[in-house]
Amino acid sequence: MRRRRLHGDGRLTDPTGEEAAKPLPPLRRDIEIVPVRQDGQNLFLLHDDEGLGADGVAVPESALLILSCLDGRRGAAEVRSEVLKRTGAALGEGEIAAFATELAAAGLLETEELRERRLELWREFAKNPVRKARYAGKIYPSDRLELAKFLGAYLHDGAKGPGKPLAESPSATSPVGLVAPHIDYSRGGPAYAWAYQALSESQPPDLVVALGVAHSSPDSPWTAARKAYDTPYGPIAPSDDLYEALASSLWYDPQDDVWAHRQEHSLELAAVWLKFLWREKTPPWLPILCSSFARFAPDRPPSGIDTIEKALQDTGRAFAKIAARKRVLILASVDLAHVGPRFGDDMPLGAETEKKIEDADHSSLEHALRLDADAFYLSVVADGHWRKVCGLSALYSGLRWMKILGAKETGNRLLSYGQAPDPMGGIVSFASAIFPS
């Protein structure tokens, strides 16, 4: 990733006159701040997940307090006072304004120019029939041969992965459901391999309903993209039949928040494995991103929300009509717990916390494997949803639809379970499971 350096020596620029008196625009809420080591210094990388500004901007630790003060309400004088009060450092108002100007130029502050750029990109994305692969060359190789070697290594991993290649002659019937992670491959690769190796032993479905997580959590509970998802092995075509089944079952247009698909990784990482597995035989799919149901169902299952329950039932029945003549796979590309300082927790990390997370995850997964979606949901949101399971809504929806499509309450298998550290301090858990027909 290319990185711009803002005052890497710890200094801010000299005052620039009139800029010191102007209100300062706020720091974008979607900016991720990651500690890095660069040129022998401890810096912090401001990462833009939306892809609107610079690929990466590094700032010194001394700039973090200024960043926290950029809330859209404070001017340079107020920021200066806050820094002086909390650190004793007497910065000039012009210095602060100049620093904010540099951040704005890097696309990291919410300015009118940035909003116009965002709308321009959204319009371009809406018009494009193909959702471009955003993470090729970043999370995974963009070259086909390198990618095959890269993914194959996880399949042959006998310690954490399945220890065998994709099946050449599938014998089992196509399953109704599959659960796989969406964490980056470097941390969850073996768990992906367990899921897709198991899938390779079955006949390919005719259609795939793919449920991912809308980490931006737009207003729409389910956001579908009527676009081909590109991968290094070529695009996965969208299914018109599945899209119409969904659209006819909802009270809103499922493409209202289609912009959420542009930068979201949860379905792109699933698409890559599907194309690696089936190549030119990959069936069309319906990519759906799920927003958080916990906003309106924090302590009860979504089945108690009339609009959500009706949509789940109507959509499931519409999918079932298609499944009566074509094999439909429900794929949930989800992760589980997100615990630790990175996610706002003050609990200590270590073996005890890891075991607590694992025990709670397995308890929830037992409900999921029995297709008891409500019990699964309640087990996750219990005790204030302390695990912060990001795939809660997607997996809940998937379990509901699997059951309507004929999945049984027995015989479903947990293939793998894993945990991985978050580089900013935390634990993320994930699992793979298969639901036979």
* Domain range annotation of the chain: 4-119, 130-435
Non-local (6+) Cβ contacts of 15 within 8 A are 92, 93, 94, 95, 97, 98
Mean pLDDT of all residues in the chain? 91
User: Among residues 410, 207, 434, which one has the least CA distance to residue 321?
Assistant: 207
- Whether the pLDDT of residue 14 is over 80: the answer is no
User: Among residues 366, 209, 387, which one has the least CA distance to residue 294?
Assistant: 387
Q: Which residue has better confidence, 286 or 34?
A: 286
The percent of residues above 70 in pLDDT, for the chain, comes to 94
Lowest mean pLDDT among 114-123, 361-370, 395-404: 114-123
Q: Using one digit for the tens of pLDDT, what is the confidence trace for 107-158? A: 999 999 999 988 898 889 989 999 999 999 989 999 999 999 999 999 999 9
Q: What is the DSSP letter of 27?
A: B
Q: For residue 52, how far is the Cα from the chain centroid? A: 18
| 40 band by pLDDT with thresholds 50, 70 and 90 | confident
User: Among residues 333, 422, 338, 334, which one has the least CA distance to residue 388?
Assistant: 338
User: Among residues 388, 407, 390, which one has the least CA distance to residue 398?
Assistant: 407
Output the pTM of the full model.
0.85
* Full DSSP string of 121-139: HHHHHHH-SEE--SSBTTT
Q: Using one digit for the tens of pLDDT, what is the confidence trace for 371-389? A: 999 999 999 999 999 999 9
| 19 band by pLDDT with thresholds 50, 70 and 90 | low
Q: Determine contact, residues 433/369, Cβ cutoff 8 Å.
A: yes
Q: For residue 32, how far is the Cα from the chain centroid? A: 13
Summarize the confidence of residues 21-37 as an average pLDDT. 79
- Whether the pLDDT of residue 5 is over 60: the answer is no
**Which pLDDT value is given to residue 326?**
97
Handedness of CA 398, 400, 405, 409 (dihedral sign): positive
Find the length of the chain. Answer: 437
Q: Which residue has better confidence, 105 or 18?
A: 105
For residue 288, report the phi and psi dihedrals to the nearest 5 degrees: -125, 130
| 303 band by pLDDT with thresholds 50, 70 and 90 | very high
Q: For residue 182, how far is the Cα from the chain centroid? A: 7
Q: Determine contact, residues 333/394, Cβ cutoff 8 Å.
A: yes
Summarize the confidence of residues 310-318 as an average pLDDT. 98
Q: Using one digit for the tens of pLDDT, what is the confidence trace for 326-351? A: 999 999 999 999 999 888 888 889 99
The amino acid present at 285, given as its one-letter code, is: W
Q: 288-313 burial, b for 16+ CB within 10 Å, e for fewer? A: bbbbbbbeebeeebbbebeebeebbe
Q: Determine contact, residues 170/203, Cβ cutoff 8 Å.
A: yes
Q: Using one digit for the tens of pLDDT, what is the confidence trace for 181-236? A: 999 999 999 999 999 999 999 999 999 999 999 998 899 999 999 999 999 999 99
For residue 299, report the phi and psi dihedrals to the nearest 5 degrees: -140, 15
- Whether the pLDDT of residue 4 is over 50: the answer is no
**Which pLDDT value is given to residue 10?**
41
User: Among residues 265, 393, 389, which one has the least CA distance to residue 339?
Assistant: 389
3-state secondary structure of 433: strand
127: number of Cβ within 10 Å? 7
Residues forming a β-bridge with 222: 290
Q: Determine whether 39 is exposed, middle or buried from the number of CB atoms within 10 Å of its CB (0-12, 13-18, 19+).
A: exposed
4-119 has which CATH code?
A: 3.90.930.60
- Whether the pLDDT of residue 58 is over 90: the answer is no
> Does 4-119 match 130-435 in CATH topology?
no
**Which pLDDT value is given to residue 70?**
93
User: In the structure encoding, which two tokens stand for residue 84, read together?
Assistant: 């002086």
The percent of residues above 90 in pLDDT, for the chain, comes to 73
Q: Determine contact, residues 62/96, Cβ cutoff 8 Å.
A: no
Q: Which residue has better confidence, 96 or 402?
A: 402
Strands (E), 277-352: 285-290, 328-333, 338-339
Non-local (6+) Cβ contacts of 243 within 8 A are 224, 226, 254, 286
Q: Which residue has better confidence, 59 or 324?
A: 324
Q: What is the DSSP letter of 286?
A: E
Q: For residue 363, how far is the Cα from the chain centroid? A: 23
| 1 band by pLDDT with thresholds 50, 70 and 90 | very low
**Which pLDDT value is given to residue 18?**
58
- Whether the pLDDT of residue 12 is over 70: the answer is no
3-state secondary structure of 233: coil
130-435: CATH architecture: 3-Layer(aba) Sandwich (3.40)
